[in-house]
Homo-oligomer: A and B are copies of this chain.
Amino acid sequence: MSSDATRVLVIGADAAGMSAAHQALRTAGSHGRSLQVTVVDKGAHTSYSACGIPYWMAGDVESGDELVARTVEQHREAGIEMRLGTEAVAVDVTSRTVTVRGGQDVDEETLEYDELVVATGAPAIVPAWALRPDGTPYVNVGPVKTLDDGAAWESRFEAAGEGAHVVVVGAGYVGVEVAEAALRRGLGVTVVTRGRGLALLEEEMSEKVAIAMCDAGAEVVLGVEVTGLETATGESGGHRATGVRWEGGGRDADLVVLAIGVRPATGFLRDSGLPMGDNGALLPDEHGRVAPGIWAAGDCCEVRRRIDDRTVFRPLGTHANKLGRVLGDNLAGGSLAFPGVVDTSITRFAACGEYLEIARTGLGLEEAQHAGYDAVALVTEGTTASGYMPEAEPISVWVLACRSTRRLLGVQVVGGHGAGKRVDTAAAVLWSEGTVDDLAWMDLAYAPPFSTAWDILQIAARRLAERL
C-alpha cells in the first residue's frame, strides 16, 4: 500500500460497511485513487444476514455460518484490514480520529482516518423491564438481531420441551417471522403488540395476518403494552422470566422474544455535532456523505422516501446493501447517487397449515393524508392464479391513490404463494410516479398458473380508478 493512500476507516462490518469497503476498493483504481481500508466492528461476525435468523430459528437454516455472506478471511483477501471485537466509542471530527476499545492488546486506542464510514447498524431495543435489576439479561429473554442472538434462540428452541410457550413482544416483521419459527418448532406462541395489528400494514390488511396466526394456533393480543416480566422464585429465582405482564393482565411464558424494533447505533457520535434524525439516525446525502470526511450507510441512517420526499427510518438489508455500494463508489471518486426508496417490504407467515405472503410499498393512508394527498383506498379480493387451477390461493390487495391526480400512492398485499412479490410491480409504478390507471392497464404476465386474465393487481387498481 503506498504511503499516500487515503486512509478509510469503516465502523461496522455488516452489509453497508462491507459493501462500501469492497465497492471503494473495486473502483478506486479507475479514479486514480489509492485506498487503505480498515474496518472495525465490536462483534465477531461480518456480513451476515440478520433477516435470515428467524429461518435459522425455524430450522430452515442449519447454522449461523450459512447466514454469513462473506467471512473475515474473504474480506482480508480483498485487501481490507479487519479488526473485530473492536468498538468505536468516540469520534473527533476535527482531528479526524476515532477512539476504539477492545481488540488486540490494547484497551483503548486512537485511530486516524482521512475518510470515516459510519455503518454501525441498529441494534435491537431491549427495554429496561426486560433486564434483571443488575442490568444483565434473563436467560430465557432476548432480542433477535445478531448471530449470537440467533445461536441463543436456536439453543433455547431446541431445549424447550413439548408444550413450552413463547411470548413474542412486538408484531413487526420480526415478530411475525419469529412466531412462524416457534410454531413450526412445535412451540406455543403468543404475540403481544401495543398496536392494533401488524406494524406497517393498514388495519384491514393486518387483520388477515392476525386471523392466520390464530388459525395456526397462536394467540394474538392486540393493543397491549408489555410493562414487565414475571420471574421465578426458588432456586432459579431471578435468572429466568416466567411470563410477561401488562396493565390488567399477563401471560405465562417459557421464553420471551423481544421484537419491538431497533435503534441506530450512533450514541458514540453524540458529541460529534453531526446532524441526526429524531431517533438518532444519521442523514447522509444521496452520495452517502454526512459531513466533510464523514460518510454513513445502512441501518444507522434514514433514507429518503420518494413519494413524499421525507426521510424515514427503514433499517432493511436491501437498503443497506445499496447505500453501502453508493457510498463506496463516491468515496473512491465516483458519482453514484442513491435514488431513495418507495417503502417496499415483504415477509410471510407460514406455519401449521397457514401460508400468507405479506408485503407493502408506498404510503399508508395516514401518511398520504399527512403528505397532503387527497387519498382514497380500497381492498380487493381475488386469487393468485386462475380460479380453476390448483395453484389458485386467495389474495387481498389494498390500493391507495390520490383522487385529484390519480397518482398511485401505495399498495399492500396479503395472500398465498406468489402474492408478495407482486408489490414489486406496484413499487415500479410508484418509482416512475405513475397513476392507478397505469397499474390497471399495463401489460402484466398472464397464464393460468400465475394469474387471472386481469391480474389481481390490475383488478384492484381498476376498481379504485373507477371510484376516483
Contacts and interface: CB of A to CB of B under 8 A. Distances in A.
A447 B173 contact: yes
Given A344-B444, A431-B434, A453-B317, A61 B424 contact: no
A359 B450 CA distance: 11
Contacts of A55: 388-389, 448-449
Chain multiplicity (copies)? 2
Contacts of A447: 51, 173, 345-348
A70 B75 CA distance: 61
Contacts of A442: 339, 342, 427-428, 431
B427 A424 contact: no
A154 to B, nearest CB: 14
A420 B439 CA distance: 18
A357 B445 CA distance: 12
A359 B451 CA distance: 13
Interface in A89-126: none
Given A51-B447, A52-B389, A344-B445, A421 B422 contact: yes
A423 to B, nearest CB: 5
A421 B350 CA distance: 21
A343 interface: yes
Nearest to A342: B443
Contacts of A268: none
Given A52-B386, A341-B443, A318 B454 contact: yes
For the side of the interface on A, what is the size category?
35 or more
Contacts of A15: 453
Contacts of A320: 453
Contacts of A49: 386, 388, 448, 453
A423 B424 CA distance: 10
A361 B439 CA distance: 16
A66 interface: yes
A450 B421 contact: yes
Contacts of A438: 428, 431-432
Interface string A39-61: 00000000001011001000011
A67 interface: yes
A254 to B, nearest CB: 26
A453 B318 contact: yes
A51 B445 CA distance: 13
Given A389-B52, A389-B60, A450-B346, A445 B432 contact: no
A424 B428 CA distance: 9
Contacts of A67: 388
Contacts of A302: none
A425 interface: yes
A66 B390 CA distance: 12
Contacts of A129: none
A246 interface: no
Nearest to A319: B443
Contacts of A429: 428, 431-432
Nearest to A362: B443
Contacts of A263: none
Contacts of A60: 388-390
Nearest to A67: B388
A421 B361 CA distance: 17
B423 A421 contact: no
* Nearest 9 interchain pairs by C-beta: A428-B428, A432-B432, A346-B445, A318-B446, A66-B388, A424-B425, A341-B443, A344-B443, A431-B442
22 contacts: A52-B388, A55-B388, A60-B388, A61-B388, A316-B446, A317-B453, A338-B441, A345-B447, A348-B449, A359-B445, A420-B450, A421-B445, A424-B445, A425-B425, A425-B427, A425-B428, A427-B442, A427-B443, A428-B434, A428-B442, A429-B432, A431-B443
Interface of A: 15, 49, 51-52, 55, 60-61, 66-67, 173, 316-322, 338-348, 350, 357, 359, 361, 386, 388-390, 417-418, 420-425, 427-429, 431-432, 434, 438-439, 441-451, 453-455, 457
